[in-house]
Amino acid sequence: MKFLHASSRLLFGVVCIFLLLGFLLTWIGVGRLNTHQEASLQSEITHISQLQNHALKSRYFSGWERIAQADELEFDSLRKAPNLDYVIVLTSNDAEGKPWYTTHSDTGLLVPLHSALLIHQRFQNAEGSIWIETVKDKPYLCLAKQLTRDGMQTHGIVVFTLPLDTFLSQMADDSGLVRQVALLTADTVLYGRTGSACLNHEIGFASLKNQSWGLFTCAEKQESRYAWSKQPLFGSVAMLYVQDAPVQPSPAKNFLLLVIFMLAAGMLLVPLYFKRKYYRQIGQISQVVHQIRDKNFDCTLPTGLTDEMSDLANAIDGMRQNLKEIYHDLEIRVIRRTSEISMRNAELRKTHRDILKQNTELQSAYDALKESREKYEKLIQHLENEYFFYSKALNGTLLFVSKSVHKILGYHSNDYRNRHQTLYTRNPLNEEARNQQSVILKEARPVEYLAEVTDAGGQEKVLEVVEVPVFNDDHVLVSIEGMARDITEKQKNEELIKEQEEQYRMLFNHASDFIFLYELNTRENKVGKFIEANQYTLQRLNYSMDELRQITPLDLIAVDIWRSDIQNLEEFTLSKEKFERIWESKEGKIINLEISTHVFNIKNRDVVIAVARDITDRKRAEEEIRFVNEELVNQKENLEALVDNLTQTQEQLVQSEKMAALGQLIAGIAHEINTPLGAIKASIGNLSDSLDTALRELPELTQNQSPLDMKVFSELFDKALVKKPELSSREKRQIRRDTSQLLGRHHIAEPDLLADTLVYLGIYQDNLETLLPQFQELDNPLKVVRSARNFISLMKNSGTINVAVEKATKVVFALKKYAHRDAMGEKASADIIDGIETVLTLYNNQLKQGIEVTRDYDELPLVNCFKDEISQVWTNLLQNAIQAMRLEGTLLISAKLNGDSVVVSFKDSGPGIDPEIQERIFEPFFTTKKAGEGSGLGLDIVKKIVEKHDGSIWLESELGKGATFHVKIPLE
Amino acid sequence: MDRKVILCVDDEPIILESLREQLEKHFGDNYIYETAESAEEALEILNDLEEEGVEVAIIVCDWLMPGMKGDQFLLQIDLKYPRVIKILLTGQADQESVDNLEDLADLFTLVAKPWNKEELITIVNNGLRNYE
């Protein structure tokens, strides 16, 4: 009982503490809540203001004139009115930004209860502001809002001033919650409508609603503190504030809450209190109990325990003393009993030895028995896996059925014994079975038969049965012993094998390859006769199976001249790889076969199974390919021969090109030689004539001449012998004409003839002047002059001959140089310029017809080269140039030293070479000349010669600007 | 005296001189002997002579000359002075050229270099006979 008292005291204390704590917390919490509400209201108002500011931006003001001026007095009186709880003022700015006020009567604003106007502050901006004002020591919430309506000059500022606490209490309905507050906008102000805003929620609600003013109720939302909204219809703003009633602590409710809370806390704390109080004492008592358990009966109890605990301790101590006595008594009894047992034990041990001895003997006998029994059991067990055994009376009833029938047919032996006659199926097999069963009765001999029965699972099972007659001592049949086994699976397998065999046979017969078997005498290595062949083989060979069995595979071989029979034999007997054979069908058709064989042993006979494929088509294709190949080889040889021919032809062409060039050269040279020859021949004739005449005239000249004649004669002679500049025919003609006129002027006879001869003698102008007076004196000056001419003619013609001979010699010399062949076909030092000049000499007759040759030579060292070949290069280039220019134009030949090389250039003034063919002109057989005019080998030859000298040849040409061939030849 | 002209045309002075002398020696003062070193010059001379009223009886002309060739020149002369005796001297042995020239044998007489004096004189004489 003491325990209970203590706990209730504790509970009371705890409850008291929690009650106190609860009150404290509630107090603080409410206070905080109020403060918090105010702050959040303030922040929300700010928020509204911002939002509305935003909404009202960019509106404009006008039409303020229409609005009546505010009655400041009335405002004042309102302001001074007693018991002012809250005021709603509608106001706005005028055009100058001053605030405009209106009274509640102007606006139609109804101010229920106590109302007053508050004029407090002039707005500094058009957008409004918010502040808190104190009227009669009460804080007022003031909102200044600008309200606008587009296109209707509806503008204004609404100021709401509300004392907060009053507002809250006034607006609270019966339940203490503020439901609604309606505020009016400037729209009403402007038009002075009767519409009113009312803070009485019932009236205000209706009237505002009719005029499309926003009225917002939050009656259903008690948790809301206030709300606002914009009235979009007129673009003005209505605002609604709904304030939750302040949360007042409810004492009754709070007390209930506190009781619940404290009860919960007490429930938690009371066990804790008890635990802490009794824990130590229980621990001490528990220690004692543990000692007693460990047979320490002499332990002492703890002291200083509480009432309840000492009761418990005393009880335990009583138990401890009782246990101590019982334990002592038990020990004595155990010692006594132990000695009795040990005596008894000795007797028993002796008996045990005897028994063991007997046991060993028995054991060996038993082992022998067991062994033989196990053997039989194993045998039977083994047999019973497959067989069941039975004994049958002569009337057919079963006397005994081994248990293994269950394993085989699923029936228990008794069951089977009773039902076995009904289990036979209708399989015809069973007729023979019954037949056999009667045979054993009649003939008394063992029988074997098959029977089909239905097993326990309803499956049909085929049994193989062996029955043996049993005789008594008098050899009388008394019963039948039977043994049966299930061969259903075995039979099925046999059927399967049969089926598979059928499939293979199908395959064998329907294959479109030759498949056949033949014997093989391995010892003698001989091919035996056919054993079997598939349909395809028979069909293709056109033999029947019987016919085929009379012959060997070798007999089918067509006469093949390429192989000996021995090889055939070897392959048919030994070949492990595929081999090819040609067979002949019965009607003589040739079949190419590719055969593969495999030897295996069937019942001590070596048998070859062979698969052969008809490759006749393939063989034919191979033959064709071989034939085509041979054709190709032939063609290739033909082509090679053709190429050889072409090469020869080309060489011939090169030769003929050379000959053509030579022919042209010779033609030119002939002219070059014939011209001086012509001059020589004529001159010799002239010489001879002149000499004749001179000799004939000599006597007359010496005898019949006057002294004057002689003087003139010798003078003429002297003058004629003086060397004079060569004159062109044109000059000569002019001089002759002048001389003739001069002579005429001096009245000398035969001036024309005289002038002719004088010019021939080279006596004219100054030379003639001195002779003129003498000519005048002479009887016949012509005769004198002509006498002199005969002599001078000798001299002149001799000179002509000389010049002519020189000319001819030059040509011949050039020809000789040109035609010079290098003795050993080796390179020799040669003068490049000399070579070029030689060629120019030979082509003089062509060049002189209209080609002006300009030379630009460096002093060049001797070049190691094949002289005649290099000459051919110049010849070809010169010929090309002459032909390109069509014998008219200028040819610049330059030979320059360029490092280790000589660069010779032939620049002609011909039409130039088309860029399209520039790359091709060095190709053999390429020619721009008419067919037959050139072989097209000239430049090819030139290029080969230059390349033989490790040199290079290239072309510069532009259409219309001639062509330049450059040949670069290294000095060494 | 109404002498006619024998005109020799050749680019080689030695030919021109020896030919002229040869002809002069044979025909003496019966003719006036003129020489030209090219066909062009010959045409000039012919022009001059025509103005002077001097007739040209014979033209002996080289074939291969710079500028206008002998055959071309003689063809021109044939058109202008059909009566003139035209003799073409050629040193060219090129058979093709000769064949070409023979086609024109009706127009003028072909004489190969080196020529034979007697042959030349005979041809000229024959020509002169035809001419007169």
| Helices assigned H by DSSP within A824-866 | 832-842, 844-847
| Helices assigned H by DSSP within A385-470 | 404-409, 413-419, 429-443
Give the CA distances from residue A110 to residues A154, A172, A173, A206, A960, in Å, rounded to whole numbers and listed in that order. 20, 19, 19, 14, 117
What is the predicted pLDDT for the residue at A729? 83
pLDDT exceeds 70 at position A65: no
Condensed to tens digits (0 to 9), the pLDDT of residues A371-396 reads: 888 888 788 777 878 888 888 888 88
What is the predicted pLDDT for the residue at A759? 87
CA distance B16 to chain A (A): 8
What is the predicted pLDDT for the residue at A619? 84
Q: Is A848 on the interface with B (CB under 8 A)?
A: yes
What is the predicted pLDDT for the residue at A231? 31
Q: Which residues on adjacent β-strands are paired with residue A891?
A: A853, A908
At which residue do the structure tokens 């044998």 appear? Answer: B105
pLDDT greater at residue A477 or residue A572: A477
Contact yes or no for A796 and B33 at CB 8 A: no
pLDDT exceeds 50 at position A162: no
Who among B14, B89, B112 is closest to A676 (CB)? B14
Contact yes or no for B114 and A683 at CB 8 A: no
Give A251's pLDDT tier (boundaries 50, 70, 90).
low
Q: What is the mean pLDDT of residues B60-89?
A: 86
Could you tell me where in chain A the CATH 3.30.565.10 domains are found? 823-970
Who among B15, B21, B36 is closest to A675 (CB)? B15
Q: Is B15 on the interface with A (CB under 8 A)?
A: yes
pLDDT exceeds 90 at position B42: yes
Condensed to tens digits (0 to 9), the pLDDT of residues A299-334 reads: 777 777 777 778 888 888 888 888 888 888 888 888
pLDDT exceeds 70 at position A270: yes
What is the predicted pLDDT for the residue at A953? 92
Q: Is B42 on the interface with A (CB under 8 A)?
A: no
Give A967's pLDDT tier (boundaries 50, 70, 90).
very high
Residue A522: CB partners within 8 Å, gap ≥ 6?
Answer: A573, A599, A606
What is the predicted pLDDT for the residue at A487? 87
What is the predicted pLDDT for the residue at A245? 36
Q: Is B107 on the interface with A (CB under 8 A)?
A: no
In this structure, which topology does domain A511-614 adopt according to CATH? Beta-Lactamase (3.30.450)
CA distance A800 to chain B (A): 6
Cα–Cα distance, A471 to A208 (Å, whole number): 132
Q: Supply φ then ψ for residue A460, to 5 degrees.
A: -85, 130
Burial A568-577 (b: 16+ CB within 10 A, else e): bbebbbebee
Residue A371: CB partners within 8 Å, gap ≥ 6?
Answer: none
Q: What is the mean pLDDT of residues A785-814?
A: 86
pLDDT greater at residue A456 or residue A228: A456
Lowest-confidence pick of A15-19, A185-189, A690-694 = A185-189
pLDDT exceeds 80 at position A523: no
Q: Is the peptide bond before B114 cis (omega within 30 degrees of 0)?
A: yes
A contacts of B88 (beta carbons < 8 Å):
none
Condensed to tens digits (0 to 9), the pLDDT of residues A428-483 reads: 888 888 888 888 888 888 899 989 898 888 888 888 899 999 888 888 888 898 98
pLDDT greater at residue A779 or residue A664: A779
**Number of other CB atoms surrounding residue A524 within 10 Å:** 9
Delineate the domains of chain B, giving CATH numbers in brackets: 4-131 (3.40.50.2300)
DSSP character for A559?
A: P
What is the predicted pLDDT for the residue at A151? 36
Question: Chain B window 66-95: which residues touch A at a Cβ cutoff of 8 Å?
Answer: 66-67, 89-94
CATH of A823-970, one of 3.40.50.2300, 3.30.565.10, 3.60.15.10, 3.40.50.300: 3.30.565.10
Who among A686, A732, A803 is closest to B21 (CB)? A686
Q: Is B28 on the interface with A (CB under 8 A)?
A: no
Q: Is A662 on the interface with B (CB under 8 A)?
A: no
- Three-state secondary structure call for residue A24: helix
Dihedral angle, C-alpha A582, A586, A587, A591, nearest 10 °: -20
**Among residues of chain B, what percentage have pLDDT more than 90?**
20
Lowest-confidence pick of A36-45, A495-504, B49-58, B89-98 = A36-45
B contacts of A850 (beta carbons < 8 Å):
66-67
Lowest-confidence pick of A30-39, A308-317, A452-461, B121-130 = A30-39
Q: What is the mean pLDDT of residues A91-104?
A: 38
CA distance A838 to chain B (A): 20
Could you tell me where in chain A the CATH 3.30.450.20 domains are found? 385-494, 511-614
**Number of other CB atoms surrounding residue A650 within 10 Å:** 15
Condensed to tens digits (0 to 9), the pLDDT of residues A693-708 reads: 888 888 877 776 778 8
Question: Across chain A, what does the average pLDDT equal?
Answer: 73
A429 burial level (CB within 10 Å; 0-12, 13-18, 19+): middle
Q: Are strands B4-9 and B31-36 parallel, antiparallel or unpaired?
A: parallel
Contact yes or no for A845 and B112 at CB 8 A: no
Q: Are strands B85-90 and B56-62 parallel, antiparallel or unpaired?
A: parallel
Residue A333: CB partners within 8 Å, gap ≥ 6?
Answer: none
Q: Is A736 on the interface with B (CB under 8 A)?
A: no
Query: Are the beta carbons of B57 and B70 closer than 8 angstroms?
Result: no
Give the CA distances from residue A239 to residues A128, A659, A774, A845, in Å, rounded to whole numbers and listed in that order. 14, 127, 160, 129
ipTM comes to 0.88
Give A266's pLDDT tier (boundaries 50, 70, 90).
confident
Contact yes or no for B17 and A800 at CB 8 A: yes
A478 burial level (CB within 10 Å; 0-12, 13-18, 19+): middle
Q: Is A283 on the interface with B (CB under 8 A)?
A: no
Question: What distance lies between CA A288 and its chain's CA centroid?
Answer: 88
Give B113's pLDDT tier (boundaries 50, 70, 90).
confident
Question: What distance lies between CA A664 and its chain's CA centroid?
Answer: 71
Token pair listed for A806? 């020189």
In CATH, what class is A385-494? alpha beta
A523 burial level (CB within 10 Å; 0-12, 13-18, 19+): exposed
A contacts of B117 (beta carbons < 8 Å):
681-682, 685
**Among residues of chain A, what percentage have pLDDT more than 70?**
71
Give A896's pLDDT tier (boundaries 50, 70, 90).
very high
Give A959's pLDDT tier (boundaries 50, 70, 90).
confident
What is the predicted pLDDT for the residue at A887? 84
Contact yes or no for A681 and B34 at CB 8 A: no
Condensed to tens digits (0 to 9), the pLDDT of residues A845-863 reads: 888 888 999 999 999 998 8
Q: Is B112 on the interface with A (CB under 8 A)?
A: yes
Spatial CA neighbour of A189 closest among A156, A232, A231? A156
Lowest-confidence pick of A63-77, A907-921, B4-18 = A63-77
CA distance A667 to chain B (A): 5
Give A189's pLDDT tier (boundaries 50, 70, 90).
very low
Q: What is the mean pLDDT of residues B22-37?
A: 90
Q: Is A682 on the interface with B (CB under 8 A)?
A: yes
What is the predicted pLDDT for the residue at A419? 85
Question: Across chain B, what does the average pLDDT equal?
Answer: 85
What is the predicted pLDDT for the residue at A564? 52
Return the half-sphere exposure (C-beta side, CA atoms, 13 A cut-off) of residue B9: 32
Lowest-confidence pick of A32-36, A82-86, A513-517, B59-63 = A82-86
Contact yes or no for A850 and B114 at CB 8 A: no
Lowest-confidence pick of A256-260, A759-763, B105-109 = B105-109
Spatial CA neighbour of A896 closest among A869, A862, A951, A859? A859
**Among residues of chain A, what percentage have pLDDT more than 90?**
7
What is the predicted pLDDT for the residue at A159? 40
What is the predicted pLDDT for the residue at A8? 60
Who among A666, A667, A686 is closest to B25 (CB)? A686
Q: What is the mean pLDDT of residues A535-551?
A: 89
Spatial CA neighbour of B64 closest among A850, A845, A891? A845
pLDDT exceeds 80 at position B15: yes
Cα–Cα distance, A656 to A937 (Å, whole number): 10
CA distance A970 to chain B (A): 37
Q: What is the mean pLDDT of residues A230-243?
A: 32
What is the predicted pLDDT for the residue at A250? 56
Q: What is the mean pLDDT of residues A552-571?
A: 64
Question: What distance lies between CA A628 and its chain's CA centroid?
Answer: 45
Q: Supply φ then ψ for residue A6, to 5 degrees.
A: -60, -45
Give A615's pLDDT tier (boundaries 50, 70, 90).
confident
